[in-house]
Structure 1
Amino acid sequence: MNSEQVDAYLRRLGVERSAWPAAPGGAPSATTGVLRDLHLRHLQTVPFENLSVHLGEEIVLEEKRLLDKVVGARRGGLCYELNGAFGLLLTALGFDVTLLAARVYGEEGRLGIPYDHVALRVRTVDGSDWLADVGFGAHSHLPLAFGARGEQEDPAGTFRIVEAGPDEAAGVRAVGAADLDVFMDGRAEYRLEVRPRGLGDFVVGAWWHSTSPRSHFTRSLVCSRVTEDGGRITLSGRRFKVTGSDGTRKERGLETDEEVLEVYRERFGVELDRVPVVRSADRSG
């Protein structure tokens, strides 16, 4: 990323470089405070959404295409796109970023496909390592201390990172002793490998999630982001849900296409010329 692209990304997040203390050269210092601020702002401004899957748009894991979508078109995306783009920004700002592969826990504790999810291991200037993830939907609002093994309190809940053991339900054993399980409020979210990966490693996972009838992303529509008060708003098809930071929930149906497009525009900042329709509804098998 060049300097203009970095500035454009930061404006997308509603912040200027001058908001933080500068390191030599004028760029923001790659501190834990800056990382936490960017992480939360990303969750509040860039929605987790699978609209491309149902609009017939290809998901391309290349730097220019990611920035064109997230920054230029002011869209959101799947984990590969959101954490991929966020990793590019952090790297440009001086953070040491490593892409990590994960498999998401599903029904009955079964693990998903390889390269099911991508998360970021981020090292700050003081040598601290953090698990950053702006692409998992409802997850931690702030980065998690990568090396901590006790409970970590976050506005979204209580998190824990532990060494992974055998997964008897799925018949899968941890690839190595370093594999980690990430828990939220006592529920296993995903199993994280610590081996560094490249963005190209996730192409097959992105293809599977955007095409397979077995992927929940091809069977449903979602657009979701964290709100400024710590709650969450979610549009699932024509159902708009507002969840407060205290857990209260309000939900309403949207009757017309105009209402749907207005919610995308006004509540998520996403401009669409037509309403997405679940593509898998027209598929057999």
Structure 2
Amino acid sequence: MEVAKYLSRIGFTGSAVQPSLELLRSVHICHLLSVPFEDLTVHSGGEVRLDLQLIYDKIVNKRRGGFCYENNALFFWLLTHLGFHVTCLKTTNNITEMYGPPFDHLILLVTVEGRRWLCDVGFGPSGFSDPLSLDTEGLQEEGHRVYRIRTSQEMHFLEWQEENRGKDGDWTEIYKFTLSSRCLEDFTEMCQYHQSSPSSIFFCKSFCTLLRPSGRLTYIGHRLITVTFPSEATGGKLESTTIELKDEEIPAVLAEKFGIVLSSPLIPKDDPITPPAVRY
């Protein structure tokens, strides 16, 4: 496992000699723009295992992506080797509008230059591009979105708005977490859950999504969705187009749009997600 090869994989060309907030922000966005958030292993006859060497080989050598445990575990490895102080945290997310079991998402707390930052390169369309400050409950704007981290006793809630920025609009909870340190092995049971449970998006839907400078490209089931962020060219509006795909078209789309070539046939899937029986 080589740091230089990882940095090359994500297209980072700056200086990585000294840990700094600038370096943290740079490698965070580089990872998001280069490494897809995807679960294609689950739908092509494979199994995701929480082994750093396997994850490195998949993402760096084979130029694949992964879901949260893979992306954030490898990003943790990179940051520690770049000299950052990093802590793994567990979350409970709100994808089905009901919180699922604990440990269903892995995020990172990074301390640099005397401040604490939330990093997450494994959450897909609802995720943030730049690290978010954990030392404020104020608004943190990123392009057309605004985030905040609300605190209630020991629990922290990551929330966002896509409209009514800076006003008293509705906030959407993304996930909740505490600051208790965890290790990668703590997520093993939930890694299996996400590959077998009808309450997990990873089991119910074959997908691959990648952030782009002007928007996001997402494959899911038999669809290819292109989202363009608001700009002068779009009249300040979010634009989205969807193309329906046939089975035989999907491998070429994955190769051309995401740089992914699977070693086994993909079984496309886009089933409804069953909400968990218990709200955690």
TM bucket, shorter chain = 0.7 to 0.9
1:273 Cα shift?
Answer: 4.1
Gap change, CA 1:269 and 1:102, over 3 Å in 2: same
Counterpart of 1:190? 175
1:275 Cα shift?
Answer: 4.3
Give the 3-state SS of the residue equivalent to 1:85 in structure 2. Answer: helix
Counterpart of 1:172? none
Gap change, CA 1:235 and 1:107, over 3 Å in 2: closer
Q: Which amino acid aligns with 1:216?
A: I
Counterpart of 2:278? none
Counterpart of 2:251? 261
1:213 Cα shift?
Answer: 2.5
Q: Which amino acid aligns with 1:208?
A: Y
Counterpart of 1:24? none
Give the 3-state SS of the residue equivalent to 1:55 in structure 2. Answer: coil
- Structure-2 separation of matches of 1:156 and 1:203: 35
1:255 Cα shift?
Answer: 2.5
Counterpart of 1:249? 240
Counterpart of 1:174? none
Q: Which amino acid aligns with 2:100?
A: G
Q: Which amino acid aligns with 2:10?
A: L
Give the 3-state SS of the residue equivalent to 2:124 in structure 1. Answer: coil
Q: Does 1:128 align with 2:125?
A: no
1:256 Cα shift?
Answer: 4.6
1:155 Cα shift?
Answer: 2.4
- Structure-2 separation of matches of 1:41 and 1:106: 25
Tell me if the contact between 1:260 and 1:275 (Cα under 8 Å) persists in the aligned partners: no
Q: Does 1:90 align with 2:74?
A: no
- Structure-2 separation of matches of 1:157 and 1:31: 25
Tell me if the contact between 2:45 and 2:264 (Cα under 8 Å) persists in the aligned partners: no
* Structure 1: 4+ residue segments shifted above 6 A: none
Can you list the C-alpha shifts for 1:164-219, whole angstroms capped at 9, x where unaligned? 3xxxxxxxxxxxx2220000111000011210000000011111001123322111
1:128-277 paired onto structure 2 within 5 Å: 128-138=115-125, 139-155=127-143, 157-164=145-152, 177-185=153-161, 186-229=171-214, 231-246=215-230, 247-257=238-248, 259-277=249-267
- Structure-1 separation of matches of 2:250 and 2:96: 31
1:279 Cα shift?
Answer: 7.0
Q: Structure with the greater relative contact order (CA < 8 A, sep ≥ 6): 1 or 2?
A: 2
Counterpart of 2:34? 45
- Structure-1 separation of matches of 2:269 and 2:138: 42
Q: Does 1:112 align with 2:100?
A: yes
Counterpart of 2:166? none
Can you list the C-alpha shifts for 1:113-149, whole angstroms capped at 9, x where unaligned? 110101000112x122110001011111111011110
1:278 Cα shift?
Answer: 4.5
Scaled by the length of structure 2, what TM-score is found?
0.86
- Structure-2 separation of matches of 1:140 and 1:155: 10
Structure in which a larger fraction of residues adopt helix: 1
- Structure-2 separation of matches of 1:271 and 1:129: 38
Gap change, CA 1:280 and 1:161, over 3 Å in 2: closer
Q: Which amino acid aligns with 1:206?
A: C
Q: Which amino acid aligns with 1:254?
A: L
- Structure-2 separation of matches of 1:121 and 1:156: 24
Scaled by the length of structure 1, what TM-score is found?
0.85
- Work out the number of aligned pairs and report it: 254
- Structure-1 separation of matches of 2:95 and 2:38: 19
> What RMSD over aligned residues (CA atoms) do the two structures have, in Å?
1.7
Gap change, CA 1:196 and 1:84, over 3 Å in 2: same
- Structure-2 separation of matches of 1:62 and 1:274: 21
1:106 Cα shift?
Answer: 4.0
- Structure-1 separation of matches of 2:44 and 2:206: 11
